[in-house]
Amino acid sequence: MIPELGHFALILAFVLALVQGTLPLVGAARGEARWMAVANPAAVGQFGLLLLAFLALMYAFVVSDFTVSNVVQNSHSAKPMLYKITGVWGNHEGSMVLWVLILALFGAMVALFGRNLPPTLKARVLGIQGLIGVGFLLFILATSNPFLRVDPPPLDGTDLNPLLQDPGLAFHPPFLYFGYVGFSMAFSFAIAALIEGRVDAAWARWVRPWTLAAWCGLTLGIALGSWWAYYELGWGGWWFWDPVENASLMPWLTGTALLHSAIVVEKRDTLKSWTILLAIVTFGLSLLGTFLVRSGVLTSVHAFAVDPERGIFILVLLILALGGGLALYAIRAPRLQGGGLFAPISREGGLIVNNLLLVTATLTVLVGTLYPLLLDAVGGGLVSVGPPFFNAVFIPLAVPLVAAMGIGPMLAWKRGDLRAALGRLWFAAVVVIVVALGAVWFWAGGPVLAVLGVAMGLWLVASALTEMAERIRLFRIPLVASWQRFTGLPRSAYGLTLAHAGLGIAILGMVGTSVFRAEVIEIMAPGEQIEIAGYVLTFDGVRDVQGPNYISNQGRLVAESDGNQFVLTPEKRWYPIAQMATTEAAIATTWLADIYVALGEPRDDGRWVIRAWHHPLVPWIWVGSVIMVLGGFVSLTDRRLRVGAPRRARIGASVQPAE
Amino acid sequence: MRRLVYLVPLTVFLALAIWLAVPLLEGRDPSALPSALIDQAMPSTDLPGIPGRARDASGLTDADLLAGKPILVNVFASWCLPCLAEHPLLMGLSDDGVTIHAINYRDDPADSADWLARHGDPFDRVGLDRDGRAGIDWGVTGVPETFVIDADGRIRYRFAGPLTPAILDRDIRPLLASLDQ
């Protein structure tokens, strides 16, 4: 009964989405206020119905209702409750329901909190959002019904893939989808603006919070995914240039570019058609990611069951949304008039450099990801794509990007003074040079890239802090006055410092673990010791542990250094229902480094292969990412994004002062 | 003229969409890439071994591949996530007595030795193909890929992408059984 209710709610949501995708758009074109007003209740109602459907599916998983085909294929009665719940979106059908639920959530938020939007813009945004919903709900109902029953029902399920039974992996899809789907808001705003034929500072101010929220979600999702790869795969790999990882990285890169170019539209009333294009492309790349993962065109460990029919359906959606959007862009964008002029050396100029580099980086990732397909089309070739390709092209693009990230915020709008900006960065430059030289001395003969990487990370942190110090005139006016300036800054200024410094910290982590890791492999009997990077590890032996749906060999090691003591319990697990084994590494962190231990094969004489790694700075990758997200959230609470935007902006749009 | 610039994104996208649509509309299984090498003699192979590998540190040569019985050759890399996904299936095949050799594609030998020690080692011989040269000889487009080679050293089957239980039961096990007679 409850699965049928969920199915029925899905169908009703589809019908409401049809209403939301037609009446408000026609109403906005004809100026019929009542038709436009339909958008609000339709958006909220659609969210309510999809929430109902999602909860119905979750209920089926929680009570292990094995009359539902989806539950049979992805769950088991002995599975821990946590993974029963996360199993809802650990499969193709359920994850699509989550996808449309988040889409409807964004629509409902616009309906409820977008009170100060002009009525026609709001109606059009919600209308476009409704049309996207129509496409995806039709996709679910036609090809991927999660509520399909089986008859006769089996006694128990076939269990979720054990690799997916992991907190890092279980929780990253909701964040990723929040990011992907959130960019649909930017897309809807862009299309609505093209229909209206007007893009101004106010528009940029409205679109920014949605983009920022989506960006935060995507950043967090990517960070969680890479954290999973790190502890599940071992030896310090945290990014594998897997097609699915690339699919999430591409919208992140263009989304980052969009965030920055929207600032230019808001402050300087220029770069309009470029910003609109970025909004369309960013959502397009999110859809492309969905297509690549689910059509089976490219293979990946994250890929769901391959089904060409689904692939064609998503491709048609992609063509309708992106092709339609880009066609509208080709017709309307030439009429968007650019506003303020600016010199090449200026804040705008810096942001254009940032945009060009980010878009180039996106293109290289796109080419690398689709390369196997291209190779297939032309019948074989010589170059292979894998980490070597991406590292070779991505790092040369990242270096100028990071260099520009330090200088850009120092430049004035309209006409900047590069020499003065560099002059104000002398402190950051000194820090970077001293530490980089120190790294050369400490690591004589080491790879140049390591020194360069350390310098890049430090440069970002130091320049972000310098920028903040400049704003509050630290040490030039009394400290109390500096503090008053600090507390008086807009929240977006804190956001900038946090996000840029966070990226710098993450880069230091990436470089640290890639270059300075150490490793020991020993065949150990209980009681024996090994030493790694100043830690003494004592092996206490292995015992059998019975888990809820697995059996495990659990090793125990005690790590000791200068009175610090950790217990590490690496495991080898066997999942009898899924017939799969997994290894669970044990990680102890000091925040400056990780001690990482994996249990290998047993020997006949009762000894075990033990592998231990020392990964310096690796936690900083995720600490840095979290700081970046924090920067995004702080910026999201900025006053100008919350209150009084339209009235101020409408005045501001005509006499926008150059700040 | 200036208006034409705004048509560029649409044109690029449509070209991309058509290109993505063709393999889907042809109804081709994207992983069943035809190999020019099917029913040809396997390419001449002489690869060094992985020094740190516990099971067998010697390399992969033509002599190993001409074993007088059907064997599998798996192309893998430690940086490849799909390889991890198919790994338990290879472990299962190895437990059933199937001989599996491997080409370790564009990998760091220390990383692949760790990977094998951690996730289990189903391979008899592993040849290290650091620069991808052997991958070109074998026509490899990505990792993982799996080949079936008969007793006379001819390639009889190729699968690109991670193996699944369905592919094992549908293609590989029946082929191995028929070749073994």
Find residue B160's DSSP bridge partners. Answer: B145
Structure tokens at A421: 């900006």
Contact B132 A384 (CB under 8 A): yes
Greater pLDDT, B34 or A145: A145
Q: How far is the alpha carbon of B137 from chain A, nearest alpha carbon, in Å?
A: 10
pLDDT of residue A223: 93
Helices A39-62 + A92-113 axis angle, to 10: 150
pLDDT of residue A102: 95
**Chain-centre distance for alpha carbon B75:** 4
Spatial CA neighbour of A76 closest among A175, A174, A169, A164 = A164
C-alpha–C-alpha distance, residues A26 and A32, integer Å: 8
Going from the C-alpha of A482 to that of each of A127, A411, A445, A475, the distances in angstroms are 48, 21, 44, 8
Contact A376 B24 (CB under 8 A): no
- Out of B13, B33, B118, closest to residue A583 by CB: B118
Greater pLDDT, A447 or B172: B172
pLDDT of residue A303: 43
C-alpha–C-alpha distance, residues A131 and A46, integer Å: 12
With contact defined as beta carbons under 8 Å apart, do A187 and A280 qualify?
yes
C-alpha–C-alpha distance, residues A480 and A469, integer Å: 13
Contact B31 A299 (CB under 8 A): yes
Greater pLDDT, A148 or A441: A148
Query: Predicted confidence band at A519 (pLDDT cuts at 50, 70, 90)?
Result: confident
Residue of B nearest to A609 (CA): B117
- Out of B9, B110, B162, closest to residue A277 by CB: B9
- Out of A298, A318, A334, closest to residue B17 by CB: A318
Structure tokens at A605: 């004489």
With contact defined as beta carbons under 8 Å apart, do B55 and B167 qualify?
no
With contact defined as beta carbons under 8 Å apart, do A70 and A94 qualify?
yes
Find residue B100's DSSP bridge partners. Answer: B72
Pairing mode of beta strands A529-532, A551-561: unpaired
Q: How far is the alpha carbon of A1 from chain B, nearest alpha carbon, in Å?
A: 33
C-alpha–C-alpha distance, residues A17 and A218, integer Å: 25
Q: How far is the alpha carbon of A599 from chain B, nearest alpha carbon, in Å?
A: 7
Q: List chain A domain ranges.
A: 1-160, 389-516, 518-619
Own/partner pairs for A650-658, CB < 8 Å, 24+ apart?
A650/A202, A652/A201, A652/A202, A653/A200, A653/A201, A653/A202, A653/A269, A656/A201, A656/A267, A656/A268, A656/A269, A656/A339, A656/A340, A658/A268, A658/A340, A658/A413, A658/A414
Contact B142 A385 (CB under 8 A): yes
Greater pLDDT, A136 or B33: A136
> A366-389: per-residue pLDDT in tens?
888 877 666 655 544 434 466 777
> A476-489: per-residue pLDDT in tens?
788 888 888 888 88
Q: What is the mean pLDDT of residues A526-533?
A: 88
C-alpha–C-alpha distance, residues B91 and B72, integer Å: 12
Which candidate in B2, B6, B25 is best for mutational testing of the A interface (most A CBs within 10 A)? B6
Give the strands of the sheet with B145-149, arranged side by side: B126-129, B100-105, B71-76, B145-149, B155-160
Instruction: Give the DSSP per-residue string, B29-90.
Output: -TT----TTTTSBPPP-EE---TT-SS----EEHHHH--SS-EEEEEE-TT-HHHHHHHHHH
With contact defined as beta carbons under 8 Å apart, do A586 and A570 qualify?
yes
Residue B108 touches chain A, beta carbons under 8 Å? no
Query: Predicted confidence band at A659 (pLDDT cuts at 50, 70, 90)?
Result: very low
**pLDDT-wise least confident of A251-260, A623-632, B45-54:** B45-54
Phi, psi of B129 (to 5 degrees): -115, 75
Greater pLDDT, B47 or A414: B47
Q: What is the mean pLDDT of residues A294-301?
A: 53
**pLDDT-wise least confident of A138-147, A157-166, B23-32:** B23-32
Structure tokens at A530: 């090994």
Does the pLDDT of residue A391 top 90, yes or no?
A: no
- Out of A242, A376, A380, closest to residue B81 by CB: A242
Pairing mode of beta strands B71-76, B100-105: parallel
Query: Predicted confidence band at A44 (pLDDT cuts at 50, 70, 90)?
Result: very high
Spatial CA neighbour of B107 closest among B87, B78, B81 = B78
Phi, psi of A87 (to 5 degrees): -60, -20
| CA quadruple A111, A112, A114, A119: dihedral sign | positive
Contact B114 A330 (CB under 8 A): no
Contact B24 A295 (CB under 8 A): yes
| Chain A residues within an 8 Å CB radius of B161 | 299
Which candidate in A231, A282, A299, A363 is best for mutational testing of the B interface (most B CBs within 10 A)? A299
Structure tokens at A593: 């480094």
Phi, psi of A361 (to 5 degrees): -60, -40
Partner B, chain A 507-526, Cβ-Cβ below 8 Å: 519, 521
| Chain A residues within an 8 Å CB radius of B120 | 581, 601
pLDDT of residue A654: 39
Residue A602 touches chain B, beta carbons under 8 Å? no
- Out of A234, A330, A380, closest to residue B6 by CB: A330
- Segments in A379-478 forming alpha helices (H): 387-407, 418-424, 426-442, 448-471
B100: how many CB neighbours lie within 10 A of its CB? 18
Contact A322 B13 (CB under 8 A): yes
Residue A187 touches chain B, beta carbons under 8 Å? no
Residue A655 touches chain B, beta carbons under 8 Å? no
> Between A and B, how many residue pairs show a Cβ–Cβ distance under 8 A?
146
Does the pLDDT of residue A218 top 60, yes or no?
A: yes
Does the pLDDT of residue A115 top 60, yes or no?
A: yes
| Chain A residues within an 8 Å CB radius of B163 | none
pLDDT of residue B85: 79
Does the pLDDT of residue A643 top 60, yes or no?
A: no
Partner A, chain B 57-76, Cβ-Cβ below 8 Å: none
Q: Of 3.40.50.300, 3.30.450.30, 3.30.450.20, 3.40.30.10, which CATH number belongs to B35-180?
A: 3.40.30.10
Partner B, chain A 252-281, Cβ-Cβ below 8 Å: 273, 277, 280-281
Residue B133 touches chain A, beta carbons under 8 Å? no
Q: How far is the alpha carbon of A425 from chain B, nearest alpha carbon, in Å?
A: 38
pLDDT of residue B133: 79
Residue A576 touches chain B, beta carbons under 8 Å? no
Considering the entire predicted model, what is its pTM? 0.82
| Chain B residues within an 8 Å CB radius of A519 | 110, 114
Residue B37 touches chain A, beta carbons under 8 Å? no
Residue A324 touches chain B, beta carbons under 8 Å? no
Half-sphere exposure at residue A102, Cβ-oriented, CA atoms within 13 angstroms: 23
Structure tokens at A438: 């120190």
Residue B110 buriedness (CB in 10 A; 0-12 / 13-18 / 19+)? middle
With contact defined as beta carbons under 8 Å apart, do A221 and A89 qualify?
no
| Chain B residues within an 8 Å CB radius of A289 | none
Contact A326 B9 (CB under 8 A): yes
| Chain A residues within an 8 Å CB radius of B22 | 377
DSSP letter for A90, please. S
Going from the C-alpha of A132 to that of each of A93, A137, A489, B178, the distances in angstroms are 17, 9, 39, 51
Class of domain A1-160: mainly alpha
Contact B117 A234 (CB under 8 A): no
DSSP letter for B142, please. S
| Chain B residues within an 8 Å CB radius of A73 | none
- Out of A299, A327, A579, closest to residue B162 by CB: A299
Residue of B nearest to A368 (CA): B142
pLDDT of residue A382: 37
| Chain B residues within an 8 Å CB radius of A600 | 117-118
| CA quadruple A277, A258, A296, A311: dihedral sign | negative
Which candidate in A244, A301, A573, A608 is best for mutational testing of the B interface (most B CBs within 10 A)? A301
Pairing mode of beta strands B60-61, A551-561: unpaired
Classify each residue of A588-622 as buried b or exposed e, where b means 16 or more C-beta atoms within 10 Å of its C-beta: beeeebbbbbbbbeeeeeebbbbbbbbbbbbbbbb
Percent of chain A surpassing pLDDT 70: 88
**Degrees (nearest 5) of the Cα angle B72, B73, B75?**
140
Q: List chain B domain ranges.
A: 35-180
Going from the C-alpha of A442 to that of each of A357, A439, A451, A516, B175, the distances in angstroms are 33, 5, 10, 12, 58
A76: how many CB neighbours lie within 10 A of its CB? 22
Residue B18 touches chain A, beta carbons under 8 Å? no
Query: Mean pLDDT score of chain A, rounded to an integer?
Result: 83
